[in-house]
Amino acid sequence: AQSVAQPEDQVNVAEGNPLTVKCTYSVSGNPYLFWYVQYPNRGLQFLLKYITGDNLVKGSYGFEAEFNKSQTSFHLKKPSALVSDSALYFCAVRDRTGANNLFFGTGTRLTVIP
C-alpha cells in the first residue's frame, strides 16, 4: 500500500528566508515522488519529480527536493522564499510495481510573510 504524510498543515516563513515543506512516504519498493502546487481556483501544477539518480532534484520556480531513502522522505525546499510562493503544496507518490494511482498527501499551506 502507498501512503504519504505531510506532517504540517501550515508553514509560515518570512520573505527571503529559506523554506522547507516536509513529506514522508511509504511504498513497496522504490518510489516515484512528485511535488505539486495549487493556487486558489486553479489546478494542481507540477513542480518536480524524483525518478532515479541524484537525490537532489531541481524543479520549477527555484524549488528543489531531496530524496532520502533511509528516512523515506522527500522534503521540498527553496533557499529564499517569495510572497508569490504562498500556496497549497502537495507531495505525491507512486510505486514502481505498475500502480496507476498517484497517491497524494493532505497538503501543506505555505504562507510567506512580507
Spell out the residues 6+ positions from residue 68 whose beta carbon is closer than 8 angstroms to its own. Answer: 55, 74, 75
87 touches 57 (CB < 8 A): no
Least distance in Å: CB of 111 to another protein? 16
Least distance in Å: CB of 79 to another protein? 24
Least distance in Å: CB of 20 to another protein? 19
Residues of this chain that bind another protein (CB under 8 A): 4, 32, 34, 36, 41-46, 49, 51, 90, 92, 94, 96, 99-107
Tell me how far apart the alpha carbons of residues 1 and 14 are, in angstroms, rounded to a whole number. 37
